[in-house]
Amino acid sequence: MNAGDRRDFAAALAQLFVVYGDSVTPALADAWWGALLPYPIHDILQAMNRHAVDPEAGMYRATPAHIVKHLEAIEAERAQRILAARRNAQPRIDALEDVLYRLLHDRDRGNSGPDAEREIARLQRSLREERQRINATIIGITSEHVHQDHPQRKVGKGS
Protein backbone atom coordinates (compact mmCIF):
# COMPACT_ATOMS: atom_id res chain seq x y z
CA MET A 1 0.00 0.00 0.00
CA ASN A 2 0.96 3.61 -0.16
CA ALA A 3 -0.17 6.76 1.61
CA GLY A 4 -2.86 7.36 -1.02
CA ASP A 5 -4.52 4.09 -0.03
CA ARG A 6 -4.99 5.11 3.60
CA ARG A 7 -8.54 6.42 3.17
CA ASP A 8 -9.80 3.28 1.34
CA PHE A 9 -8.02 1.10 3.88
CA ALA A 10 -9.54 2.93 6.86
CA ALA A 11 -13.03 2.79 5.34
CA ALA A 12 -12.74 -0.94 4.62
CA LEU A 13 -11.38 -1.65 8.09
CA ALA A 14 -14.25 0.30 9.66
CA GLN A 15 -16.77 -1.60 7.53
CA LEU A 16 -15.20 -4.90 8.49
CA PHE A 17 -15.36 -4.06 12.19
CA VAL A 18 -18.97 -2.85 11.91
CA VAL A 19 -19.92 -6.37 10.78
CA TYR A 20 -18.83 -7.54 14.24
CA GLY A 21 -20.42 -4.64 16.12
CA ASP A 22 -17.07 -2.97 16.81
CA SER A 23 -15.43 0.29 15.90
CA VAL A 24 -11.87 1.16 14.97
CA THR A 25 -9.71 3.45 17.08
CA PRO A 26 -6.87 5.43 15.48
CA ALA A 27 -4.31 3.28 17.32
CA LEU A 28 -5.94 0.10 16.05
CA ALA A 29 -6.06 1.45 12.48
CA ASP A 30 -2.35 2.37 12.72
CA ALA A 31 -1.46 -1.13 13.94
CA TRP A 32 -3.38 -2.75 11.10
CA TRP A 33 -1.88 -0.32 8.58
CA GLY A 34 1.64 -1.20 9.71
CA ALA A 35 0.97 -4.94 9.63
CA LEU A 36 -0.54 -4.91 6.13
CA LEU A 37 1.57 -2.15 4.56
CA PRO A 38 3.60 -4.49 2.30
CA TYR A 39 0.49 -5.76 0.49
CA PRO A 40 -1.42 -4.13 -2.40
CA ILE A 41 -4.60 -2.37 -1.32
CA HIS A 42 -6.82 -4.31 -3.69
CA ASP A 43 -5.62 -7.61 -2.29
CA ILE A 44 -6.14 -6.38 1.28
CA LEU A 45 -9.70 -5.32 0.51
CA GLN A 46 -10.38 -8.68 -1.13
CA ALA A 47 -8.88 -10.50 1.88
CA MET A 48 -11.07 -8.50 4.28
CA ASN A 49 -14.08 -9.43 2.21
CA ARG A 50 -13.08 -13.09 2.23
CA HIS A 51 -12.74 -13.03 6.00
CA ALA A 52 -16.18 -11.51 6.48
CA VAL A 53 -17.83 -14.29 4.47
CA ASP A 54 -15.63 -17.16 5.68
CA PRO A 55 -18.00 -19.69 7.31
CA GLU A 56 -15.54 -20.53 10.09
CA ALA A 57 -13.08 -17.69 10.70
CA GLY A 58 -15.66 -15.09 9.66
CA MET A 59 -17.66 -15.75 12.81
CA TYR A 60 -14.98 -13.82 14.73
CA ARG A 61 -13.54 -10.36 14.33
CA ALA A 62 -10.51 -10.40 12.06
CA THR A 63 -6.94 -9.84 13.12
CA PRO A 64 -4.14 -8.90 10.73
CA ALA A 65 -3.05 -12.57 10.80
CA HIS A 66 -6.47 -13.63 9.45
CA ILE A 67 -6.11 -11.15 6.61
CA VAL A 68 -2.55 -12.24 5.86
CA LYS A 69 -3.80 -15.83 5.58
CA HIS A 70 -6.29 -14.71 2.92
CA LEU A 71 -3.61 -12.59 1.23
CA GLU A 72 -1.39 -15.65 0.93
CA ALA A 73 -4.28 -17.57 -0.62
CA ILE A 74 -4.90 -14.75 -3.11
CA GLU A 75 -1.23 -14.81 -4.13
CA ALA A 76 -1.28 -18.60 -4.47
CA GLU A 77 -4.38 -18.41 -6.70
CA ARG A 78 -2.70 -15.79 -8.86
CA ALA A 79 0.42 -17.96 -9.17
CA GLN A 80 -1.75 -20.93 -10.17
CA ARG A 81 -3.43 -18.89 -12.91
CA ILE A 82 -0.01 -17.81 -14.23
CA LEU A 83 1.21 -21.41 -14.22
CA ALA A 84 -1.96 -22.55 -16.00
CA ALA A 85 -1.50 -19.86 -18.67
CA ARG A 86 2.05 -21.02 -19.28
CA ARG A 87 1.05 -24.68 -19.36
CA ASN A 88 -1.76 -23.93 -21.76
CA ALA A 89 0.54 -22.09 -24.17
CA GLN A 90 3.54 -24.42 -23.92
CA PRO A 91 2.33 -27.06 -26.40
CA ARG A 92 1.87 -24.39 -29.10
CA ILE A 93 5.32 -22.99 -28.40
CA ASP A 94 6.88 -26.45 -28.42
CA ALA A 95 5.27 -27.28 -31.78
CA LEU A 96 6.44 -24.02 -33.36
CA GLU A 97 9.97 -24.43 -31.99
CA ASP A 98 10.16 -28.03 -33.19
CA VAL A 99 9.32 -27.11 -36.79
CA LEU A 100 11.51 -24.00 -36.69
CA TYR A 101 14.54 -25.86 -35.36
CA ARG A 102 14.15 -28.58 -37.98
CA LEU A 103 14.02 -25.96 -40.74
CA LEU A 104 17.04 -24.14 -39.31
CA HIS A 105 18.95 -27.41 -39.05
CA ASP A 106 18.11 -28.31 -42.66
CA ARG A 107 19.11 -24.84 -43.85
CA ASP A 108 22.43 -25.01 -42.00
CA ARG A 109 23.17 -28.38 -43.60
CA GLY A 110 22.22 -27.13 -47.07
CA ASN A 111 19.10 -29.32 -47.28
CA SER A 112 16.41 -26.63 -47.44
CA GLY A 113 14.06 -25.79 -50.24
CA PRO A 114 13.54 -22.44 -51.98
CA ASP A 115 10.79 -21.28 -49.58
CA ALA A 116 12.67 -22.21 -46.39
CA GLU A 117 13.75 -18.64 -45.50
CA ARG A 118 10.20 -17.36 -45.85
CA GLU A 119 8.87 -20.25 -43.70
CA ILE A 120 11.60 -19.67 -41.09
CA ALA A 121 10.68 -15.99 -40.87
CA ARG A 122 6.96 -16.87 -40.57
CA LEU A 123 7.63 -19.37 -37.77
CA GLN A 124 9.89 -16.92 -35.91
CA ARG A 125 7.15 -14.30 -36.13
CA SER A 126 4.51 -16.77 -34.90
CA LEU A 127 6.72 -17.85 -32.01
CA ARG A 128 7.39 -14.24 -31.01
CA GLU A 129 3.64 -13.45 -31.15
CA GLU A 130 2.79 -16.49 -29.03
CA ARG A 131 5.35 -15.51 -26.40
CA GLN A 132 4.00 -11.95 -26.38
CA ARG A 133 0.48 -13.31 -25.94
CA ILE A 134 1.61 -15.37 -22.92
CA ASN A 135 3.45 -12.38 -21.44
CA ALA A 136 0.38 -10.18 -21.88
CA THR A 137 -1.76 -12.80 -20.13
CA ILE A 138 0.70 -13.03 -17.24
CA ILE A 139 0.94 -9.24 -16.95
CA GLY A 140 -2.86 -9.10 -16.91
CA ILE A 141 -3.01 -11.63 -14.09
CA THR A 142 -0.34 -9.93 -12.00
CA SER A 143 -1.83 -6.46 -12.41
CA GLU A 144 -5.52 -7.37 -12.30
CA HIS A 145 -6.04 -5.48 -9.03
CA VAL A 146 -5.54 -2.20 -10.90
CA HIS A 147 -8.59 -2.86 -13.06
CA GLN A 148 -11.10 -4.27 -10.58
CA ASP A 149 -13.50 -2.45 -8.32
CA HIS A 150 -12.71 -2.36 -4.63
CA PRO A 151 -14.58 -5.20 -2.91
CA GLN A 152 -14.83 -3.32 0.41
CA ARG A 153 -18.18 -2.09 -0.84
CA LYS A 154 -19.52 -5.59 -0.20
CA VAL A 155 -19.08 -5.70 3.59
CA GLY A 156 -20.54 -3.57 6.33
CA LYS A 157 -23.66 -1.51 6.75
CA GLY A 158 -25.01 0.41 3.81
CA SER A 159 -23.70 -2.09 1.26
| Domain count for the chain | 2
Q: Are residues 84 and 65 in the same domain?
A: no
Q: Which residues of the chain have pLDDT under 50?
A: 147-159
What global pTM score does this model have? 0.71
Q: Evaluate whether residue 130 is within a structural domain.
A: yes
Q: What is the pLDDT of residue 154?
A: 43
Q: Are residues 66 and 77 in the same domain?
A: no
Q: What is the pLDDT of residue 142?
A: 82
Cα dist from 8 to 81, 142, 152, whole Å: 27, 21, 8
Q: Evaluate whether residue 159 is within a structural domain.
A: no
Rg, the chain, Cα only: 24
Structural domain containing residue 138: 73-144
Cα dist from 19 to 34, 49, 63, 68, 92, whole Å: 22, 11, 14, 19, 49
Q: Evaluate whether residue 66 is within a structural domain.
A: yes
Q: Are residues 9 and 36 in the same domain?
A: yes
Cα–Cα distance for residue pair 27/31, rounded to 1 Å: 6
Q: Are residues 63 and 83 in the same domain?
A: no
Residues 114-156 have pLDDT tens digits of 899 999 999 999 999 999 999 999 898 887 655 444 444 344 4
Q: Are residues 105 and 135 in the same domain?
A: yes
DSSP string, 8-68: HHHHHHHHHHHHTT----HHHHHHHHHHHTTS-HHHHHHHHHHHHH-TTGGGS---HHHHH
Q: Are residues 102 and 140 in the same domain?
A: yes
